[in-house]
A and B are shown apart, each in its own frame.
Chain A
Amino acid sequence: MPYAVSFQQVSRHFGSVRAVDAVDLEIEAGEFFAMLGPSGSGKTTCLRLIAGFEQPTSGHIEIFGETAEGVPPYRRNVNTVFQDYALFPHLNVADNVAYGLMIRGVGKAERTREAEAALEMVKLPGYGARKPGQLSGGQRQRVALARALVNKPKVLLLDEPLGALDLKLREQMQEELKVLQKALGITFVFVTHDQGEALSMADRIAVFNEGRIMQTGTPEEIYRRPKTRFVADFVGSSNVLSPQLTERLAGVAEWSSLRPEDIRLGSEGGHEASVTGTSFLGSATRLSLDVTGEKISVLLPSGARVPEQGESVRFSWDTSALHLMGPQA
């Protein structure tokens, strides 16, 4: 079984800017794959390379084993849910959803039926006659999803589709997307800068930075065993400890990461630090500690006593929580 998408040494340069730089990537058929990274890290360009809106400067792209370079977007059985939805303002919702079918010459009656079925799938039955301008952000997002899925693509690309939604709606859509993906069995490639979103939804994640993939793996791997300082810091805002500090705390001179939620405060044992700041997060309290000049964050579960600023505390952790990343991470 070929990969749904495979990149071999793919680069996309814009003048002197290396938006995507020698990327190797394999996305399995039927998986929910997330591309995670800060803005400008090359994740959206990768998505556009799969969609065909961009052509690689060098390298080789295959979609289900077929060469994709030089193939225009309209000849790729790949559909996109755009960041700002890109619904056609002059067409009503039903015609928006049926656009791909209309282009392929599907008859009016069948088109209408399939569009309505797709709208039902995204929980918007009976919205066909409205114009996109009359819908809320969340509804537009669902229409964009229906418009892409109605074509039964081999790969569905989602470009930060939940970015414009409020928190509650976003969490709801995350769940629905996941359920939909499992039910349809279509390969989803999801671009996001929200690590929580990537961790909760994806089967596998590729973490991007400066046009390169820093690490690929399951959410668990990425979160527990980051390979580099960047991954540790970007995914879950882990504490990245310098080799000097790691040596002092654990006796090994390597870069290491220590999750804020894995640190415990106590009155005995462990190491000493002073509290430089506290901020209440609702479900927890974030504490900033100063350990011989380096800053460490600690998440205190709600209910625990919150020390005062300037107070001296002792902290410890389970040995397995400290993840070593090597001397040159």
Chain B
Amino acid sequence: MSATTLRTGTGAILPGRGGVGGALSDAFWRNPKLLLFVMLTPPLLWLGIIYLGSLFALLIQSFFSIDEFSGLVVREFTLKTYGELLRPSNLDIIVRTVTMAGLVTIASAIIAFPIAYFAARYAKGRWKAVFYLGVMLPLWSSYLVKVYAWKLILAKEGILSWIFDKLHLTFLIDAWLTLPVVGGNSLSLSLTGTFLVFVYVWLPFMILPVQAALERVPGNLLEASADLGASPRQTFVNVLLPLALPGIIAGSIFTFSLTLGDYIIPQIIGTSHRFIGMAVYAHQGTAGNIPLAAAFTVVPVVIMGIYLWLAKRAGAFNAL
């Protein structure tokens, strides 16, 4: 038999599927990189041009300034806008927002951990479904509806003060509201109210990554820790927390950055003191000061960058 004879039809090799689909399947199988290219190009274009591009445009805008007489943007590179950002009134906004974001993140982490721990270690089958439903359900309804619902809960004649009244504990609310900074006319008109609503709205974004991280911690690591003499508290500090940390960091990225950028919650619930989001909204809208709005927007980006860098240096991602 000559070497060039092609034997076919023995059934060992199946014929091609034919058509465009068949040809494509064969081509992709021979060139896996082609498939990768085809799949990745659209999202990379989206991410690269539309997302990163607009972020870059924003960064450039923040180096422009506004002409105070004409109100027009002067397209010359200057640090004048950043100088304006550091004025006490603007710095005040930044400090307030970052403090709020930090407190919201810490509170979310503290509330989320036990819930996530229960879901990861104990909930099985139906209870797991109940957990996911319970955490996700609030995300399905409109954010505005939830915020306005909270306004009613926290209002002077609202549900919360009614409950405290029935329990004869109204004096507690009153005492809290007389405190500086966190106080106000009513809970819905105080930074305390803003804080409560932020924690409520962003909590699912903390619970889910923490739960995912805890789910990956094998149960026998906790047993091994106890076996080696560690009390439950020591096991928590030395094993559970370090292994859950990547999840907590992931969750805190959500809660922290969402709080940094939000402009609706503090507008509906809270004081007249502004947050970064509100400042951006005001400057790019009514005031028409796009450069200052852009400079305000750069602040959360920089803060998140520093935060992640510190977290990495502290070894938060070592367990990944």
Residues in chain A within 8 A of chain B (CB atoms): 51-53, 72-74, 78-80, 82, 84, 86-90, 99-100, 102-104, 147-148, 151
Q: How far is the CA of A218 from the CA of B268 in the complex (A)?
A: 79
Residue of B218, B227, B230, B243 contacting most chain A CB atoms (<10 Å): B227
Query: A86-B223, A90-B318 are known contacts. Are A79 and B228 too (CB-CB below 8 A)?
Result: yes
A151 close to B228 (CB less than 8 A): yes
| Closest A residue by C-beta to B228 | A100
Query: A89-B243, A90-B318 are known contacts. Are A100 and B229 too (CB-CB below 8 A)?
Result: yes
B229-254 with Cβ < 8 A to chain A: 229-231, 234, 238-239, 242-243
- Give 28 pairs: A residue, B residue, CB < 8 Å, sorted on A: A52-B226, A72-B226, A73-B226, A73-B227, A74-B227, A74-B229, A74-B230, A79-B228, A80-B227, A82-B220, A82-B223, A84-B220, A86-B220, A86-B223, A88-B221, A88-B224, A88-B225, A89-B221, A90-B243, A90-B318, A100-B228, A102-B238, A103-B228, A103-B229, A103-B230, A103-B234, A148-B227, A151-B229
What is the minimal beta-carbon distance from B217 to any residue of chain A, in angstroms?
9
Query: A89-B243, A90-B318, A103-B238 are known contacts. Are A80 and B229 too (CB-CB below 8 A)?
Result: no
B57 within 8 A of A: no
A147 close to B318 (CB less than 8 A): no
B224 close to A80 (CB less than 8 A): yes
Q: How far is the CA of A84 from the CA of B227 in the complex (A)?
A: 15
Q: How far is the CA of A53 from the CA of B227 in the complex (A)?
A: 8
Residues of A contacting B239 with CB < 8 Å? Answer: 88
Residues in chain B within 8 A of chain A (CB atoms): 218, 220-221, 223-231, 234, 238-239, 242-243, 318-319
Query: A84-B220, A88-B221, A88-B239 are known contacts. Are A51 and B319 too (CB-CB below 8 A)?
Result: no
Residues of A contacting B224 with CB < 8 Å? Answer: 80, 82, 86-88
Q: How far is the CA of A105 from the CA of B239 in the complex (A)?
A: 16
| Closest A residue by C-beta to B219 | A86
What is the minimal beta-carbon distance from A26 to any residue of chain B, in angstroms?
23
Q: How far is the CA of A90 from the CA of B228 in the complex (A)?
A: 16
Q: How far is the CA of A78 from the CA of B227 in the complex (A)?
A: 7
Residues of A contacting B221 with CB < 8 Å? Answer: 86, 88-89
A79 close to B318 (CB less than 8 A): no
A89 close to B319 (CB less than 8 A): yes
Q: How far is the CA of A103 from the CA of B230 in the complex (A)?
A: 6
Residue of B220, B228, B239 contacting most chain A CB atoms (<10 Å): B228
What is the minimal beta-carbon distance from B131 to any residue of chain A, in angstroms?
23
Residues of B contacting A151 with CB < 8 Å? Answer: 228-229
What is the minimal beta-carbon distance from A146 to any residue of chain B, in angstroms?
12
Q: How far is the CA of A99 from the CA of B242 in the complex (A)?
A: 14
Q: How far is the CA of A1 from the CA of B243 in the complex (A)?
A: 43
Q: How far is the CA of A151 from the CA of B234 in the complex (A)?
A: 17
What is the minimal beta-carbon distance from A190 to any residue of chain B, in angstroms?
16
User: What 8 A-B pairs are tightest by C-beta distance, nearest first?
Assistant: A100-B228, A86-B224, A73-B226, A90-B319, A86-B220, A103-B229, A103-B230, A80-B227
| Closest B residue by C-beta to A80 | B227
Q: How far is the CA of A148 from the CA of B226 in the complex (A)?
A: 12
Query: A86-B218, A86-B220, A86-B221 are known contacts. Are A51 and B227 too (CB-CB below 8 A)?
Result: yes
B226 close to A99 (CB less than 8 A): no
Query: A88-B239, A89-B243, A90-B318 are known contacts. Are A104 and B220 too (CB-CB below 8 A)?
Result: no
Residue of A53, A72, A90, A148 contacting most chain B CB atoms (<10 Å): A90
What is the minimal beta-carbon distance from A122 to any residue of chain B, in angstroms?
16
Residues of B contacting A148 with CB < 8 Å? Answer: 227-228
Residues of A contacting B223 with CB < 8 Å? Answer: 51, 53, 73, 80, 82, 86
Residues of A contacting B318 with CB < 8 Å? Answer: 90
